[in-house]
Amino acid sequence: MTETTQPKKMPLTSMDIAEEKREQLKHCLGFAFPEIMAEDKIDFDELKRVLGEWVDPGKERFGLNWPGKAECMKIIQQPSVATLKPVREESVNFDEAEHLFIEGDNLEVLKLLQKAYFGKIKMIYIDPPYNTGNEFIYPDKYAETLETYLAYTGQIDDDGRKFSTNSDSVGRYHSNWLNMMYPRLYLSRNLLCDNGCIFVSIDDVELAHLRSICDEIFGAEHFSGLVSRSTGTRMGSGSATLSSELDYILIYAKTDEVEFSGLPMNDDDLSIYDQEDERGKYLTRSLRRTGGENRREDRPSMFYPVIAPDGTEVFPIAPAGYESRWVCGKSTYQKLLADGMIEWKKMRKDNAERWQVYQKHYVGSAMKQPSNLWNDEEGNKKATRDLNALFGGLKVFDHPKPVGLMQRMITLATEARTNDIVLDFFAGSGTTGQAVWVQNQLDQGNRQFVVVQLPEKLDDEIKAHQVASQLCEEIGVPKNVAELAKERLRRALSSMQEKPYFAAGSGKVGFKVFKLDRSNFKIWDGRAAADEDLKRQIEMHIDHLSPESTAETVLYELLLKAGFPLTTEVKALEMVEKRVFSIEDGALLICLEKEITPELIDALAEANPLQVICLDEGFKSNDQLKANAVQTFKARAQAEESEIVFKTV
């Protein structure tokens, strides 16, 4: 049987980042410099020669280096064999909700999101462990990241691996943190859209290192600011001599296309709009340019006479007597005048009266440019009080970020009504999720969130965990931080639901819960070396689907791996008495039936989809049926002058 008579095999691993990048590079470079392609591979030495450059292999490079950095690249490139399984019973309004809570290690999750969310995220906010020595730093293991996670969550036997905090008595204190952060930041960049940006909270301990790796990953030219935020709390961390009342937010844009919105004005800002007419409040500013570059010779075209109410000509003359200039050219002035934006005032100086000209600035929808000092926000204590209030006064989580702080970043980096997606992959107590809802409620927005949180265990032995642990016991959920975050979001939602926006648009509110888990498919593990392992794998593959899988878990795995977001609308259809799932109005049809018939193939082709995915086992090893299916789809596509991609899994 030739290849064209067989459907394509759908890959069940997450997108192979390195392969994807190689393909993109081959595409761009191969087109411009065909001479550098050798046997379909890029010859980098040849490329350097073509560019007239030669780099000594032993040459020193600018940048941060640490033990384990090379391993980070391997970790990034190792595709994930895991999946994200929907959990309806932990979700709120699963079928319609457009927000996602993903429970799992964020490295695996970021890999799994690569295809479906590539270039789709408008804003990332993360608040990773600051590496103060008390937090748990996730121990990634190249080639067994999923196994590490399952061991951590107690889903497989723990063979003695330790999951402990990263204290500075550990020899590789900073390296461990960098090894954890680098792959995650690297993968997150792929998810940002071209006008997207990332905000990272951090304190003094790792600020310098974080900035170095962000410069490397996002490009130093995309550094967009470093905010100093007053936490309102004195902390012992920070330097040994000074207590710290600050933390920082490091901001990077994905490309030069990013534009931040201004911030709405507060009462203080508004108090300078001290005049009012029928068009509203306004302030006036001198039409003569003040400050630097205010001389006639700086902009000769902005030196011209304007006519005062008594018909006299007024020139821009500085109080010191020299010839100055207006803030705009003649034609702009005429427009301002016609629009009623010019105001004249008669001033008395040295016993003489003189006309002075001003430009009016109405408050309207004026926004202010944010500064890099944020000391006007509610601090951490208020954040803790607000979170405690949701839990009947109990302190269930240490150091949540204030909802208002998150709203400020969200208003800077996203638009209200363009379905922007906000991602937080160190979600903690879920503040980012709540802030997206609160902001949507304020400006009738339709932003969506994706938050990711590890089920970090609550340890009854640790005093700070005891209240949270007891709460989990009372509400009957496992004792971990992910459970707390889900509960926080549920409580936040019900506390908001009385308000009008939520009442009207509640359909889309709620959140879908997904959990990181093994694939539904027994994926061939190419890394298995020992004969015993190979034998076990061959036996396993006789039955391809794992016994725990359900139609829904398989469906979402296929959606994700075919590149569709987890909030994509799915409709269940019936075709010749078989169940077929229609995605994006029939663009993708997924059929999980275990007995595929020629009639079903005809019905699928008749629906004229762009893509069809079926279970391989549905063909019951009947290669002829498969070949007929390929021909049927091909014929239908030819008749419609389109293409139908047919894959089995």
Ligand X SMILES: C[S@@+](CC[C@H](N)C(=O)[O-])C[C@H]1O[C@@H](n2cnc3c(N)ncnc32)[C@H](O)[C@@H]1O
**Residue 226 CB, nearest distance to ligand X (Å)?**
18
CB closer to ligand X out of 121 and 592: 121
Strand 448-453, strand 421-424: pairing: parallel
User: What stretch of H or E contains 267?
Assistant: helix 267-270
Residue 332 phi, psi (nearest 5):
-65, -40
3-state secondary structure 450-504: EEEECCCECCCCCHHHHHHHHHHHHHCCCCEHHHHHHHHHHHHHHHHCCCHHHHH
CB closer to ligand X out of 384 and 582: 384
CB closer to ligand X out of 107 and 342: 107
Assign 78 to helix, strand or coil.
Answer: coil
Residue 311: CA count within 13 A, CB half-sphere: 0
Q: Which of 417, 399, 428, 411 is nearest to 374 (CA)?
A: 411
User: What stretch of H or E contains 83?
Assistant: strand 82-86
CB closer to ligand X out of 42 and 477: 477
DSSP 395-442: --SSSPPPHHHHHHHHHHH--TTS--EEEESS-TTTHHHHHHHHHHHH
103 touches 455 (CB < 8 A): yes
Q: Which of 339, 377, 358 is nearest to 290 (CA)?
A: 358
CB closer to ligand X out of 128 and 196: 128
Q: Tell me the residue length of the chain.
A: 649
Q: Which residues bind ligand X (CB under 6 A)?
A: 105-106, 127-129, 138, 397, 400-401, 426, 428-429, 431, 452-454, 456, 481
- Provide the terminal-to-terminal Cα distance of the chain, rounded to the nearest Å: 18
Assign 544 to helix, strand or coil.
Answer: coil
| 455 token code pair | 């089920």
CB closer to ligand X out of 411 and 453: 453
CB closer to ligand X out of 129 and 196: 129
Q: What is the DSSP letter of 640?
A: T
Secondary structure tally for the chain: helices H, strands E:
19, 26
**Residue 12 CB, nearest distance to ligand X (Å)?**
23
Q: What is the DSSP letter of 386?
A: H
CB closer to ligand X out of 94 and 163: 163
Strand 367-368, strand 263-264: pairing: antiparallel
CB closer to ligand X out of 412 and 452: 452
**Residue 397 CB, nearest distance to ligand X (Å)?**
6
**Residue 401 CB, nearest distance to ligand X (Å)?**
4
**Residue 639 CB, nearest distance to ligand X (Å)?**
49
Residue at shortest CB range from ligand X: 428
**Residue 631 CB, nearest distance to ligand X (Å)?**
47
**Residue 138 CB, nearest distance to ligand X (Å)?**
4
160 touches 233 (CB < 8 A): no
Exposed, middle or buried by CB within 10 Å (0-12, 13-18, 19+), for 170?
middle
**Residue 149 CB, nearest distance to ligand X (Å)?**
8
**Residue 109 CB, nearest distance to ligand X (Å)?**
7
Q: Which of 471, 484, 480, 404 is nearest to 442 (CA)?
A: 404
**Residue 454 CB, nearest distance to ligand X (Å)?**
3
**Residue 462 CB, nearest distance to ligand X (Å)?**
13
CB closer to ligand X out of 288 and 401: 401
CB closer to ligand X out of 127 and 557: 127
Assign 190 to helix, strand or coil.
Answer: helix
Alpha-carbon distance 438 to 122, whole Å?
18
CB closer to ligand X out of 426 and 619: 426
Alpha-carbon distance 227 to 407, whole Å?
15
**Residue 111 CB, nearest distance to ligand X (Å)?**
12
